Amino acid sequence: MLTIHNLTKHFGGVKAVDNCSFKIEKGKITALIGPNGSGKTTIFNLISGMVEANEGEIIFNGQNLIGSSVDKISNFGISRIFQQSRLFKNLSVKDNLLLALDNEDTKLWKNLFGFNKITDEKVVRVRKILAELNILDIENTLASELSFGQKRLVELARAILNPHELLLLDEPVAGVNPKIRNIISELIIKMKNEGKGVLLIEHDMLFTLGVSDYIIVMDAGRVIAEGLPQDIRNNEKVLEAYLGR
Amino acid sequence: MIDAYFIHLLILIGIYLILGISLQLSLGYGGLLNLGHIAFFGIGAYAFALLSLHGFPFALSILVASIISALFGWLLSIPTNKLKGDYLALVTLGFSFVVYAVLLNWTSFTGGAFGLANIPRPSFLSDNFSFLLFVYVIAIISYIFISRICGTRFGKLIEAIRDDELAARSLGKKTLKIKSWGLVISAFFAGLAGSLFASYITFIDPSSFTLTTLIPILLIVIIGGLTSLPGTVLATIVVVLIPEPLRFLGFSSSVIGPLQQILYALLLLVIIYYKPRGFYGKIDLE
Amino acid sequence: MDIFLQLLINGLVVGSIYALVASGFSLIYSTNKFVHFAHGGVIVLSSYFLYWVSAILGWDFYVASFLTILFATLLGYCLNKTFYQPLRAKKASNSVLLVASVAILILFQSLALLLFGADVKTIALPLSNHSINIGGAFITPLQIIIILVSLLLFFALRLLMQRTKIGKAMRAVADNKEVAEILGISAERIYGTSFAIGSAIAGIAAILVSLEQNITPLMGTSLIIKGFTGSVIGGIGSVPGAIVGSLFLGLAENFGTWFVSAGFKDAIAFILLFLFLLIKPQGLFGNKNNQK
């Protein structure tokens, strides 16, 4: 569903992403791994439109994403979570999630004349995912008052409620306790089974090797290896990149 | 006459209330530190004055003046939409300086330092009591309108953009457009307040639309608490009434003016330090 | 040719006045990294102090001037200690500090209005004000002094920022407060010092401006806006840049009157401010890092 061709991005003199090409398939969980600074988050930023590529193409369902704005790309069907949770801190968890459901809230006149009320159906959807993540009790808590793990879960829920076909997850389980890690991995697998594409960045190798269907390894801005988890585990180049040269 | 005095105060409260809630929308809900807000007040006042001095009907003048102010809100939003924080504050401040300079110097159009006088008031509003009722009808309608906007999902979206614009964009929201709307609506009501002000005082000059006037309005929004509309109402009453006792202490009018400004400035400094959330504020000033 | 030369001289004179304001302001901004609008308030109160000591108390002008500079230094220093330092301790953002500085400016301006009234005050000139004719244009000795002082400040401040220990400490704190503190520099002390030096310069500005333009309560606001504009044009993080930017502003205002009526001088300044803030915020000499 997503194909990257010869993607390059430099910042000043540094090539953060150097001529990368790979494919992401739907119904599969693909992991993007590599040492710090290898360009993984830059790839995410390029796909989601936060940063503009210098060269190359990003084709999503037949559409080239290069040059499109962040909101347009989101509306094409790509959802994302960030390395540091970016919740709307002065809004409740419920409001954070309701905002993701659709874009009817951007229509001033419709809202003013009362045509965009919160329907029961929307509340049910929000509650459903909160219940799946075992955090129904924080529905009305302000986002700023959540614990680290809760914030991660809410951000994940928000990304999932945002209509999407591809999920970009930047370190979804970094820093969370094992219980939450399990909840998150179950949810990600569920998304994959629903036919969504998942691209994730993670440093937790156990988690990554356990949940991924395919792995892409980056180092210094380039793709140095890709394949099935068991192949990557034993790959010379990968070990070299991680353990230093 | 005591009666007349109270009516005067109530009218001022009504006008400042509209001005206060308009700033609450852009500052409290929108998170935009628009230090140039008084410029919209002034544009509305002058537009109304010029229209009615040229014979336009009263209600039409108010409406058109508010729309003109809203237009300037839109114009200002174009360069400022991508700015944040104190940088945004400085640019909006710069905008208000430009407006002030134009009001002061385009003498043929605005009357320069002498301003515009003899602004007509319709006969059915010629006594202050009827004008008071009129102002409050407008104030209540304005309050309901803004409160509705803030209470809907659109209002939540404005708040979300304030909290994290990038995250809002990653949910597919066209944040620049929404921010512009926020400024436009805010400017519309500020212009509305300006029209009422011009109609009430029947004489305006640029000195009413300077940084000095911004202080009490900012004070109102902060004392009331960011995002609290009821707080804004309470704060308006407090802020308008606080300097009034000075009048009864026998000071001359040339002393009361600066004393009032000193009071407001000190209050603002004290509130920012001790109780930045004011009465009912739910968020901090950033 | 006469007109051109006169406009040039007027531009340099008024530009130098702005430079006097801008240099102190810019010093404070470059160290503290927020816009200290109250600098205009320090200037106006210092001007009235000078008036009070020399015209009302009747003391010798030079003694009064010296005391004025002391007054300004103390005022600025105490202002920082009383208002900004506690706010910074509460982690107030730059926007909050900006709002506070505007409030303080209005506070000082109103104090001046309250204590001295709205009418214009003048101070007797301690030297002859006979205009000197240069090629058909006129300039007074006072105006020459103003231009010279601003040039002197340009070199002195450059020296201060680049060569002295204090200057380097100020730049260190401005660049990276945490690292500077680890290196043993007390940030709050440096902030205090920057306010002292910057406000001392404000005192000098107050003296010269009072002599050249007379004293009104609103002078602080208009001066700081022009000084701020000059700083932005020159590059807001750069102290010497602020001086150059101010000279440029003075020239632009005066040559602008060739095209629009004199009343619009202020409008020229504000439009320049607006444009520079939007299009070239780093000014002519600043670098991009100086924006937050």
Q: Hunting for tokens 């390059």 — which residue is that?
A: A8
Residues B182 and B274 grouped into a single domain: no
Residue of A nearest to B145 (CA): A112
A70 touches chain B (CB under 8 A): yes
Residues B73 and B122 grouped into a single domain: yes
Check CB contact under 8 Å for C106 and B79. no
The residue among B15, B20, B96 whose CA lies nearest residue B62 is: B15
**How far does C136 lie from chain B, in Å, by closest CA?**
30
The residue among B207, B265, B216 whose CA lies nearest residue B19 is: B216
Q: Which residues of B touch C92 (CB under 8 A)?
A: 272
Residues B134 and B263 grouped into a single domain: no
H helix count then E strand count, chain A? 10, 10
Q: Hunting for tokens 């005050």 — which residue is that?
A: C121
Structure tokens at B123: 């006969």
User: Please, which pLDDT band fits residue C290 given cuts at 50, 70 and 90?
Assistant: very low
Full 3-state SS string of C123-151: CCCCCCCCCEEECCEEECHHHHHHHHHHH
**How far does A235 lie from chain B, in Å, by closest CA?**
35
* Residue at which a domain ends, from B158, B176, B207: B207
What are the phi and psi torsion angles at B244 (to 5°)?
A: -60, -40
Residue C187 pLDDT > 50, yes or no? yes
Residues B186 and B258 grouped into a single domain: no
- Taking 70 as the pLDDT cut, the residues of chain A under it are 236-237, 239, 241-245
Structure tokens at C214: 């007379």
Neighbours of chain B (3+ CB pairs under 8 A): A, C
Residues B167 and B45 grouped into a single domain: yes
For C74-123, how does the pLDDT look when each residue is reduced to its tens digit (9 = 90+)?
999 999 999 999 999 988 888 899 999 999 999 999 999 999 988 888 88
Q: Which residues of C touch B246 (CB under 8 A)?
A: none
Other CB atoms within 10 Å distance of the CB of residue B81: 17
The residue among B50, B13, B38, B33 whose CA lies nearest residue B194 is: B38
Mutation to test the A interface, candidates B148, B153, B175, B227, most A Cβ within 10 Å: B153
Is B193 in contact with B23 (CB distance < 8 Å)? no
Does the residue B59 lie in any domain?
A: yes
Domains along the sequence of chain C with CATH? 2-119+132-290 (1.10.3470)
**How far does B67 lie from chain C, in Å, by closest CA?**
24
Task: Give the orientation angle of helix C265-279 with respect to helix C239-256, to 10 degrees.
Answer: 130
Other CB atoms within 10 Å distance of the CB of residue C212: 18
B79 touches chain C (CB under 8 A): yes
Number of separate domains in chain B: 2
Does the residue B273 lie in any domain?
A: yes
Scored b (16 or more CB within 10 A) or e, B201-238 reads beebbbebbbbbbbbbbbbbbbbbbbbbbebbbbbbbb
For A102-112, how does the pLDDT look when each residue is reduced to its tens digit (9 = 90+)?
888 888 888 88
**How far does B206 lie from chain A, in Å, by closest CA?**
34
Q: A177, exposed or middle or buried, with CB in 10 Å at 0-12, 13-18, 19+?
A: exposed
What is the length of chain C?
Answer: 292
* Residue at which a domain ends, from B207, B226, B258: B207
Nearest CB partner across the interface for B101, out of C97, C103, C270 = C270
What is the length of chain A?
Answer: 245
The residue among A162, A214, A164, A204 whose CA lies nearest residue A184 is: A204
The residue among A105, A2, A111 whose CA lies nearest residue A58 is: A2
Residues B198 and B215 grouped into a single domain: no
Residues B143 and B184 grouped into a single domain: yes
At A241 the three-state DSSP class reads: helix
For A206-226, how does the pLDDT look when each residue is reduced to its tens digit (9 = 90+)?
888 888 999 998 888 888 888
Residue of B nearest to C33 (CA): B86
Residue B34 to residue B96: CA distance in whole angstroms: 10
Structure tokens at C44: 């106006």
Residues B99 and B23 grouped into a single domain: yes
C154 touches chain B (CB under 8 A): no
Is C46 in contact with C76 (CB distance < 8 Å)? no
- Taking 50 as the pLDDT cut, the residues of chain B under it are none
Which amino acid would we find at residue C224? I
For C200-226, how does the pLDDT look when each residue is reduced to its tens digit (9 = 90+)?
999 999 999 998 888 999 899 889 999
Please give the full DSSP string across B21-81, using - where no structure is assigned: HHHIIIIIIT----TTHHHHHHHHHHHHHHHHHTT--HHHHHHHHHHHHHHHHHHHHHHHT
Nearest CB partner across the interface for C99, out of B87, B102, B272 = B272
Check CB contact under 8 Å for B91 and C92. no
Does the residue B4 lie in any domain?
A: no
Nearest CB partner across the interface for B282, out of A82, A90, A107 = A90
Q: Which residues of A touch B154 (CB under 8 A)?
A: 105-108, 111-112, 116
**How far does A145 lie from chain B, in Å, by closest CA?**
13
**How far does B118 lie from chain A, in Å, by closest CA?**
38
CB contact set of A116 (below 8 Å; sequence gap of 6+): A104, A105, A107, A110, B152, B153, B154
Pairs across A and B, CB distance < 8 A = 95
Residues B50 and B188 grouped into a single domain: yes
Q: Hunting for tokens 């609506």 — which residue is that?
A: B185
Residue C281 pLDDT > 80, yes or no? no
For B40-65, how does the pLDDT look when each residue is reduced to its tens digit (9 = 90+)?
999 999 999 999 988 888 999 999 99
Regarding chains C and B, contact by 3 or more CB pairs under 8 A is answered as yes
Residue C160 to residue C154: CA distance in whole angstroms: 10
Cα angle C255, C259, C261 (rounded to 5 degrees) comes to: 95
Check CB contact under 8 Å for A112 and B152. yes
Strands (E), chain A: 2-11, 14-24, 29-33, 55-60, 63-64, 78-81, 166-170, 197-201, 214-219, 222-227
A8 touches chain B (CB under 8 A): no
Is C202 in contact with C108 (CB distance < 8 Å)? no
Mutation to test the B interface, candidates A72, A75, A82, A90, most B Cβ within 10 Å: A90
Q: Which residues of A touch B177 (CB under 8 A)?
A: 106
Q: B92, exposed or middle or buried, with CB in 10 Å at 0-12, 13-18, 19+?
A: buried
Q: Hunting for tokens 């459901």 — which residue is that?
A: A101
The residue among C133, C163, C154 whose CA lies nearest residue C244 is: C154
- CA distance to A81, A162, B147, B175, per residue, from A158 (Å): 9, 6, 27, 18
- CA distance to A24, A35, B2, B172, C93, per residue, from A53 (Å): 18, 22, 71, 20, 33
C residues 70-109 lying closer than 8 A (beta carbon) to B: 83, 86-87, 90, 92-100, 102-107, 109
- CA distance to A56, A76, A166, A221, per residue, from A64 (Å): 10, 11, 15, 21
B residues 206-245 lying closer than 8 A (beta carbon) to C: 210-212, 214-215, 218
Residues B190 and B237 grouped into a single domain: no
- CA distance to B51, B195, B206, C265, per residue, from B46 (Å): 8, 8, 9, 22
Other CB atoms within 10 Å distance of the CB of residue C93: 17
C288 touches chain B (CB under 8 A): no
Residues B243 and B271 grouped into a single domain: yes
> Could you tell me which residue, C285 or A79, shows the higher pLDDT?
A79
Could you please state the CATH topology (level 3) that the domain comprising A2-243 is classified under.
Answer: Rossmann fold (3.40.50)
Range of B276's domain? Answer: 210-286
Q: Which residues of C touch B269 (CB under 8 A)?
A: 83, 100, 103-104, 107
pLDDT number for residue C55? 85
Residues B53 and B103 grouped into a single domain: yes
Residue B76 to residue B58: CA distance in whole angstroms: 27
What is the length of chain B?
Answer: 286
Does the residue B104 lie in any domain?
A: yes
- Paired with A219 in beta bridges are A222
Check CB contact under 8 Å for A90 and B157. no
pLDDT number for residue B158? 93
Which amino acid would we find at residue A59? I
Nearest CB partner across the interface for B86, out of C90, C95, C110 = C95
At A199 the three-state DSSP class reads: strand
What is the domain partition of chain A in residue ranges? 2-243
Neighbours of chain C (3+ CB pairs under 8 A): B
Other CB atoms within 10 Å distance of the CB of residue B75: 15
Does the residue B187 lie in any domain?
A: yes
User: Please, which pLDDT band fits residue C292 given cuts at 50, 70 and 90?
Assistant: very low
Which amino acid would we find at residue A172? P
Check CB contact under 8 Å for B164 and A89. yes
pLDDT number for residue B1? 53
Check CB contact under 8 Å for A111 and B170. no
C117 touches chain B (CB under 8 A): yes
User: Please, which pLDDT band fits residue C125 given cuts at 50, 70 and 90?
Assistant: confident
